[in-house]
Amino acid sequence: MVQSAVLGFPRIGKNRELKKATEAYWSGKISADELNTAAKNLRLEHWKLQKDQGVDIVPSNDFSFYDQIMDHSFTFNAIPERYLKYDLTPLDTYFAMGRGMQRPAADGKPAVDVPSQEMVKWFDSNYHFLRPEVSDKTEFKLNSTKAVDEFLEAKQANIQTRPVLLGPVTFLYLAKATKESSVKPIDLLPKLASAYVELLKKLVEAGAESVQIDEPILALDLPKEVLDSYKSTYETLAQAGAKLILTTYFGPLKQNIEILKGLPVAGIHIDVCRAPENLDDTLSILSDKQVLSVGIVSGRNIWKTDFQKAVAVIEKAIAAVGSERVIVASSSSILHIPHSLSGEDQLKPEIKRWFAFAVEKCAELAILTKAVNEGPASVRKELEANAADAKARAESPITNVKAVRDRQAAVTPEMHTRATPFEKRYSLQQESLKLPQFPTTTIGSFPQTKEIRVTRNKFVKGLISAEEYDAFIRNEITDVVKFQENIGLDVLVHGEPERNDMVQYFGEKMEGFVFTVNGWVQSYGSRCVRPPIIVGDVSRPGPMTVKESAFAQSVTSKPMKGMLTAPITILRWSFPRDDVEESIQAQQIALGLRDEVLDLEKAGVRVIQCDEPALREGLPLRRADWAQYVDYAVKAFRLATGGVKDDTQIHSHFCYSDFNDIFDAIQGLDADVVSIENSKSDMKLMSVLSNYKSCIGPGLFDIHSPRVPPVEEFKERIDALIKSVPKNRLWINPDCGLKTRGWPETTADLENMIVATRIARNENA
Ligand SMILES: Nc1nc2c(c(=O)[nH]1)N[C@@H](CNc1ccc(C(=O)N[C@@H](CCC(=O)N[C@@H](CCC(=O)N[C@@H](CCC(=O)O)C(=O)O)C(=O)O)C(=O)O)cc1)CN2
Ligand SMILES: [Zn+2]
């Protein structure tokens, strides 16, 4: 019999219960015990939910209080020393690794001041993990039995689960060495593998029938030494006697398939949503005992699975290896999609029927499994409904709007190019903006306070009028502008108080998108987003940001920076269509933004920032596919911004520090000023900065942490930057927007940043 499996379930909760509980714990409102109880309830609820939908194999250890990768750092004792010197509880040590901790001495306990670990994007998704950190001093050992405890917790509730572990090769490939350390993470594999053996043995003892072991790096181009390490590593793991399902996802295995041949694992999971060719490739190396887990229900998007096509793929696998050795699974963890469609009653029924969220994906897995086990007749109604939904979608008028397609057909190459080269237009901009050396600015958002969120919530619910809400927003903008003037910033922003999210907000203003009320997806830690869904051709019916930016400019004589989200970021942080090329969707968004940019310019806004933080994560996982992506991504940005006058200054912003891979693309955007995250990566940007030809503002403080760096730390960073960046090209700014911060630390951060800038100006005048 074929079995169904889920590789990981969203843990945040239908109503973001986990977010609320962890945030309550952090602010001292609930105890660790209460937090643990809330977590336990959620785990149980999610296991039951999956079982109720008919899933055979449900995961455990997919739960995490902050990040499942960081859980492994913690479990295997890869805890940098800086987190251990304060005598914190294990739970607080864990949270300090995730979000840093800064608190004054109190009750006889010493002051704590420690930044978080580095946060990086999980492959090409909008999920962030905490990069594991190892050093010469790292001693892997079993520091936590979380995986075993959660397995037993489910067992106690009569639910047999399959524990999920991140594989050791992926763990170390994604890890970095602490700055002063000479160790190469991957060299630590033999030691780490022994710790894994210990954990696997415990899982076997506890009764785990099989263990899912994730090795997603197998979808990447890998160095030979990494590929070669699989054999010995998995031979070591085999000593534990656990039945391992080696799990790959997010792309084609290509030549990496070779190392899977003969690996001592009980089964292999492949993603056939992203890479249908994985099926034939894997069948060609599978031993005659191994199980094949076919990832056919996408863990990355919200579209219903095409049952007819899926059944054909599963049947092919069954024909090759027999039904006892086939598992029908989600392509990856379904962490990346919202909890459920129930309650999304504002969605038009004719559109809602195109979607499946996490709970509905579980039901899909059960239906597909039944279809192949008992024959199509056993689920005829479901198969017919699925086919009818697909047909309705294909025939819907919103998927092909003539006016949008006509405009796309009329796009010319000249529309992508500014009239004058950077050097010349920047001096015109300087004449008009009159900025000091090392101009200071922020990235856009200021704290989204409880008051702002609650007021918006009232407006959304119809409890206050549009006039009241507008007046409230204008007030917020005025306050933020005055704050920036007082503190001495040079290029101001309006603070983005009117935005629920930098992508959702734009989606709501454009045609072709729909939204959820409760479709939350975890982005990092307790932070979530509600990605809009692109359902049809996209256009911009009217101004989206002009009212707020023009108002903000009207209350100050300093330059006000207009603030837009650029095309690739809108595309990637939405759920894109799967029936049209992404390049076409990006161009549609770009044309809408182009109109917005020109309207802002007309309204007297002389500096316009188009944020493109998702540019890097959009890079295909394989280098061979990069050029084609970079081409349309860069064109979309240039189409959006290329129409402005010489003295209108275009900024862009990126929040990641792996600048190297994307350097040429960023240069190709032809923006006048770019800001880029930098503070958390040991200033590793430095080496490439000197080659950048326009202005650049490497981030000076980490906005993900409440920790406030002292003036001296800012000054040191500025001094270091001056060594790489020409003095007339350096801008001073934070890593990213300040929306997640509170006012006290925002004020302190910016004050220190500005004091340090003034000292640097005096020294470099
Ligand atoms: N889409 C997206 N991806 C991104 C980023 C981003 O900004 N957007 N930034 C990077 C880092 N990721 C981030 C992701 C989320 C948040 C974030 O702040 N999320 C907020 C929610 C933002 C939001 O949608 N706010 C809404 C709804 C707020 C809300 O929860 N309202 C309450 C009611 C009010 C209250 O009691 O607080 C409710 O609905 O129940 C609004 O302001 O309107 C959160 O989790 O807390 C920050 C960074 C990378 N990826
Ligand atoms: Zn950012």
Ligand 1 center from residue 130 Cα (angstroms) = 19
Q: Kindly write down the DSSP assignment for every residue of 254-272, as one continuous string.
A: GGGHHHHTT-S-SEEEEET
pLDDT, tens digit, 9 for 90 and up, residues 189-211: 999 999 999 999 999 999 999 99
Q: Please indicate whether residue 456, judged by its CB atom, sits closer than 6 Å to ligand 1.
A: yes
Return the number of other C-beta atoms located less than 10 Å from residue 54's C-beta: 15
E-strand spans in 394-532? Answer: 511-514, 521-524, 527-529
Q: Which two tokens stand for residue 686?
A: 């430095």
Residue 500: both structure tokens together: 């629920």
Binding residue per annotation — 443? yes
What is the distance between the alpha carbons of residues 140 and 79, in angstroms, rounded to a whole number? 9
State yes or no: 20 annotated in a binding site.
no
581 inside domain? no
Domain-embedded: residue 171: no
Task: Output the pLDDT for position 449.
Answer: 97
Give the domain extent around 689: 409-512+546-573+597-763
Sequence-ordered list of residues with C-beta below 8 angstroms from that of 502, at least 6 positions apart, any chain: 444, 445, 496, 565, 569, 611, 737
Tokens 């182009």 identify what position? 594
Which of 277, 292, 359, 356 shows the shortest CA–CA distance to 329?
Answer: 292
> Do the beta carbons of residue 368 and residue 314 sit within 8 Å?
yes
Closest C-alpha to ligand 1, atom 43: 500
Distance CA 141, CA 188 (A): 12
pLDDT of 657 above 90: no
Please work out whether the CB of residue 740 comes within 6 Å of at least one atom of ligand 1: yes
Nearest CA among 395, 490, 369 for reference residue 438: 490
Instruction: Give the pairing type, strands 291-297 and 326-330.
Output: parallel
Q: What is the pLDDT of residue 683?
A: 59
Instruction: Check pocket membership of 573 for ligand 1, CB cut-off 6 A.
Output: yes
The rounded mean pLDDT for the chain is 96
Q: Is 445 annotated as belonging to a binding site?
A: yes
Two structure tokens written together for 640: 């959006």
DSSP for 456-476? Answer: HHHHHTTSS-HHHHHHHHHHH
Give the Cα separation of 393 and 354 in Å (integer).
Answer: 7
Scanning 207-348, the segments in alpha helix (DSSP H) are 224-238, 257-260, 278-283, 307-321
Q: Is 708 domain-assigned? A: yes
Q: Residues, the chain, total? A: 765
Q: Is residue 290 within 8 Å of residue 267, measured between CB atoms? A: yes
Instruction: Tell me the one-letter amino acid at 599.
Output: D
pLDDT of residue 348: 97
Residue type at position 138? T
Identify which of 263, 232, 236 has the alpha carbon closest to the alpha carbon of residue 248: 263
Q: ∠ CA 222-226-228 to the nearest 5 degrees?
A: 115
**Nearest ligand atom owner, CA of 569:** 1
What pLDDT score was predicted for residue 691? Answer: 86
The pLDDT-based confidence of 680 (bands split at 50, 70, 90) is low
> Of ligand 1's atoms, which has the minimum distance to the CA of residue 527?
45
CA distance 405 to 591: 11
CA distances, 718 to each of 440, 700, 711 (Å): 12, 8, 11
Residue 246 and residue 213 in contact, taking contact as beta carbons nearer than 8 Å: yes
Helix/strand/coil for 592: helix
Q: Is residue 243 part of a domain?
A: no
- Asked, for residue 51, whether it belongs to a domain, the answer is no
Cα torsion through 6, 8, 14, 19, rounded to 10: 170
Catalytic residue flag (residue 46): no
What is the arithmetic mean of pLDDT over 484-489? 98
* Mean pLDDT along residues 530-542: 98
**Residues 200 and 143: beta-carbon distance below 8 Å:** no
3-state SS, residue 5: strand
Report CA(444)–ligand 2 centroid distance (Å): 9
Rounded to 10 degrees, the C-alpha dihedral 314/315/320/322 comes to 90
Q: Is pLDDT at 507 greater than 90 in this prediction? A: yes
The minimum-distance atom of ligand 1 relative to the CA of 530 is 24
The CB-side HSE value for 578 (13 A sphere, CA atoms) comes to 15
> Token pair 């702002």 is at which residue?
452
444 belongs to an annotated ligand binding site: yes
- Point out the ligand nearest to the CA of residue 652: 2
Catalytic residue among 46, 128, 651, 704: 704
Known binding residue 611? Answer is yes
**614 Cα to the center of ligand 2, angstroms:** 9
Is 414's pLDDT higher than 80? yes
- 89, exposed or middle or buried, with CB in 10 Å at 0-12, 13-18, 19+? exposed
Is 742 a member of any domain?
Answer: yes
Q: Does residue 80 fall inside a structural domain? A: no
User: What pLDDT was estimated at residue 424?
Assistant: 97
Ligand 1 atom closest to Cα of residue 613? 49
- The phi, psi pair for 434, rounded to 5°, reads 50, 60
C-beta of 746 in contact with ligand 1 (< 6 A):
no
Q: Is 518 in the pocket of ligand 1 (CB under 6 A)?
A: no
Backbone angles phi, psi at 141, to 5 degrees: -160, 170
Judge whether residue 123 has pLDDT over 90.
yes
* Cβ 453 under 6 angstroms from ligand 1: yes
Rg of the chain in Å (alpha carbons): 26
Cross-strand pairs, 245: 212, 267
The C-alpha atoms of residue 374 and residue 359 are separated, in whole angstroms, by: 23
Closest ligand relative to 674 C-alpha: 2
| 485 in any annotated domain | yes
Does 713 score more than 70 pLDDT?
yes
Task: Find out whether the beta carbon of 15 lies less than 6 Å from any atom of ligand 1.
Answer: no
Q: Report helix angle 307-321 to 358-374, nearest 10.
A: 50
| Residue 234, C-beta contacts closer than 8 angstroms, at least 6 positions apart | 244, 246, 263, 264, 265
- Tens digit of pLDDT for each residue in 716-725? 999 999 999 9
pLDDT value, residue 628: 97
Residue 80 vs residues 75, 119, 139, 338, 732: alpha-carbon distances, Å: 13, 15, 10, 33, 30
Q: Which of 296-300, 447-451, 706-710 has the lowest mean pLDDT?
A: 706-710
Residues in CB range of 458: below 8 A, 6 or more apart? 464, 469
Sign of the CA dihedral with 756 first, then 699, 502, and 450 last: negative
Q: Give the span between the Cα atoms of 463 and 62, in whole angstroms.
A: 39
* Cα-to-centroid distance, 508 and ligand 1 (Å): 15
- Whether the CB-CB separation of 586 and 639 falls below 8 Å is answered with no
9 lines ligand 1 (CB under 6 A): no
Q: 364 among the known binding-site residues?
A: no
Mean pLDDT is lowest, of 157-171, 269-283, 554-568, 657-671, for: 657-671
Q: Can you tell me the distance from the alpha carbon of 20 to that of 685, in angstroms, rounded to the nearest whole number?
A: 35
Task: Specify whether the CB–CB gap between 219 and 185 falls below 8 A.
Answer: no
Distance (angstroms) between ligand 1 centre and the Cα of 447 equals 11
Separation of alpha carbons 595 and 404, rounded Å: 13
What's the domain count of the chain?
1
Structure tokens at 235: 């031979």
Write the Ramachandran bin of 709: left for phi over 0, alpha for psi from -120 to 50, otherwise beta: beta
d(CA 19, ligand 1 centre) in Å? 11
Q: How far is the CA of 522 from the centre of ligand 1 (A)?
A: 10
Atom 42 of ligand 1, residue of closest alpha carbon: 500
Atom 12 (ligand 1): residue with closest C-alpha?
Answer: 523
Determine the atom of ligand 1 nearest the C-alpha atom of 445: 7
**ipTM field:** 0.98
Which CATH number belongs to the domain containing residue 612 in this structure? 3.20.20.210
Q: Are 300 and 125 in contact (CB under 8 A)?
A: yes
Task: Answer yes or no: is 528 a known binding residue.
Answer: yes
The whole-angstrom separation of Cα 678 and Cα 223 is: 26
| Tokens matching residue 683 | 């200033």
The 10 Å Cβ neighbour count of residue 384 is: 12
Average pLDDT over every residue of 279-293: 98
Q: Is-contact 597 687, C-beta < 8 A?
A: no
Q: In what order do the strands lie in the sheet with 3-5?
A: 3-5, 326-330, 291-297, 267-271, 244-247, 211-214, 161-166, 58-60
Residue nearest to atom 31 of ligand 1 (CA): 453
Q: What is the pLDDT of residues 600-654, one digit of tens each?
A: 999 999 999 999 999 999 999 999 999 999 999 999 999 999 999 999 999 999 9
